[in-house]
């Protein structure tokens, strides 16, 4: 029974990982950009929420209303002013600039907020649990997180599949040059993609901050987990990303059950195993693993 509990925890954790992963794979799909500061942006969002909670006395879940638009605008600006200039110059500039951003954000957070760990407190919901029968109980908050993740994925799926903007994303992802010939303003489109990516990762960051403590240096691990979830699930598939997140989550909770220090490592090993055995991921559409 305790094992079932571990697996359920892992599945719900996977929802959170899927959120992190989705932002990353969206911008990679549209513009072949890997944002090494992806995780750091989620932690930045969590710290902005900390400030909002302190200054405005808001519940962290309500702080989402403030933080998400702020991060979206930040993403749009970052893309249009900085990152758009690097596209078409090979991967080196983009990797190095986002890496530099990661260093700057982490150290900026360290200077501003010190090295203390923080946690966002939504007033009790995070500890409440829902009994499922048979002695199994599931936390309300992990359930909520998973639900929000699924909801966002559905929303994103609808956006990409049914709207003109979504068609533009897919067209640009297929062939940026021809997309421009259709009248698509790639510069603006990439800005919107990054805005969307950071908005999603802001939600992920706040939910993370409620679930667990975080510090200025928590960002890079989020990037790694996002990356692993994307690779396990397979590039080019939104629902694959959810499955990838779930597999990673279950691997981590199972590993942690065996020995506390082994959680994250177990996730890494599963990731490496998938990489060895099915490099294209479990649900990928036929597309290569490269930029």
Partner 1 sequence: MTVIVERTTPASRAGAVVAVLLIAALIALPWTRDAGLMRVIVEFIALLTLAQMWNLLAGYAGLVSIGQQAYVGLGGYALMVLADDLGVNPFLAVPLAGLVATAFALPTAALVFRFSGGYFAVGTWAVAEVYRLLIANTGALGRGTGRTLKAVFPLARETRELATYALALALGVTTIVAIYLYLRSRLGLGLMAVRDSEPASQSLGVDVFRTKLAVYLIAAFGTGTTGALIYLNLLRISPDAAFSINWTAYTIFIVVIGGLGTLEGPIVGTVVFFLLRELLADYGSWYMILLGTLAVVAMMRYPQGLWGLVVDRWDLRFFPVQRLVRGVGNVSVRER
Partner 2 sequence: MTLLGVHALSAFYGDFQALFGISLEVAEGETVAVIGANGAGKSTFLRALAGAVPVPPDAVVFDGRPVGGHPAHALVDLGIVLVPEGRKIFPSLSVEENLLVGAYRGRRGPWTLDRVYRLFPVLGERRTQPGTNLSGGEQQMLAIGRGLMANPRLLLVDEISLGLAPLVVQHLYRTLEAVKAEGTTLLVVEQDVSRVLAVAQRVYCFRKGSVSLHDVPARLTREQIAAAYFGA
Site residues for partner 2 per CB under 8 A = 164, 167-168, 170-171, 173-175, 177-186
Sequence-distant (≥ 6) Cβ neighbours of residue 177 within 8 angstroms = none
Asked if residue 264 binds partner 1 (CB under 8 A), the reply is yes
- 208 vs 230, which CB is nearer to partner 2? 230
Residues in region 244-263 near partner 1 by CB under 8 A:
259, 261-262
Q: How far is the CB of 173 from partner 2 (least distance, A)?
A: 7
Considering CB distances under 5 to 8 angstroms, the limit depending on partner class, which of partner 2, partner 1, none binds residue 78?
none
> Of 261, 281, 263, 262, whose CA–CA distance to 271 is shortest?
281
- 89 vs 131, which CB is nearer to partner 1? 89
Q: How many CB atoms lie within 10 A of CB 200?
A: 27
> Of 91, 39, 92, whose CA–CA distance to 224 is shortest?
39
Q: Which of 58, 95, 138, 171 binds partner 1 (CB under 8 A)?
A: 95
Residues in region 166-185 near partner 1 by CB under 8 A:
none
Asked if residue 80 binds partner 1 (CB under 8 A), the reply is no
Asked if residue 34 binds partner 1 (CB under 8 A), the reply is yes
Show the DSSP H helices in the chain as ranges: 2-31, 38-56, 60-81, 91-113, 140-162, 164-174, 176-181, 186-211, 219-233, 238-258, 263-277
Considering CB distances under 5 to 8 angstroms, the limit depending on partner class, which of partner 2, partner 1, none binds residue 111?
partner 1
What residues form DSSP beta bridges with 139? Answer: 129
- 89 vs 286, which CB is nearer to partner 1? 89
Q: Residue 130 and residue 206: Cα distance in Å, rounded? A: 22
């Amino acid at each position: 029974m305790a094992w079932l509990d571990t697996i359920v925890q892992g599945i719900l954790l996977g929802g959170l990982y899927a959120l992190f992963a989705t932002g990353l794979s969206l911008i990679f799909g549209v513009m072949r950009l890997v944002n090494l500061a992806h995780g750091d942006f989620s932690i930045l969002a969590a710290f902005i929420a900390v400030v909002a909670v302190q200054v405005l006395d808001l519940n962290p879940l309500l702080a989402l209303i403030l933080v998400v638009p702020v991060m979206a605008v930040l993403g749009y600006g970052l893309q249009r002013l900085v990152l758009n200039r690097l596209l078409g110059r090979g991967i080196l500039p983009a990797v190095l600039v986002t890496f530099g951003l990661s260093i700057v954000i982490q150290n900026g957070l360290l200077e501003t907020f010190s090295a203390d760990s923080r946690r966002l407190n939504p007033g009790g919901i995070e500890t409440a649990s829902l009994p499922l029968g048979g002695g199994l109980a599931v936390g309300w908050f992990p359930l909520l997180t998973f639900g929000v993740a699924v909801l966002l994925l559905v929303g994103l799926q609808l956006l990409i599949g049914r709207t003109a903007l979504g068609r533009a994303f897919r067209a640009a992802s297929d062939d940026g040059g021809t997309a421009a010939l259709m009248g698509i303003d790639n510069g603006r489109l990439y800005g919107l993609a990054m805005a969307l990516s950071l908005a999603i990762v802001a939600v992920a960051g706040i939910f993370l901050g409620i679930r667990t403590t975080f510090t200025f240096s928590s960002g890079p691990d989020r990037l790694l987990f996002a990356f692993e979830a994307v690779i396990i699930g397979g590039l080019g598939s939104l629902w694959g990303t959810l499955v990838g997140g779930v597999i990673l989550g279950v691997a981590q909770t199972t590993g942690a059950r065996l020995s506390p220090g082994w959680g994250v490592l177990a996730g890494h090993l599963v990731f490496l195993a998938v990489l060895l055995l099915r490099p294209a991921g479990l649900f990928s559409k036929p597309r290569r693993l490269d930029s």
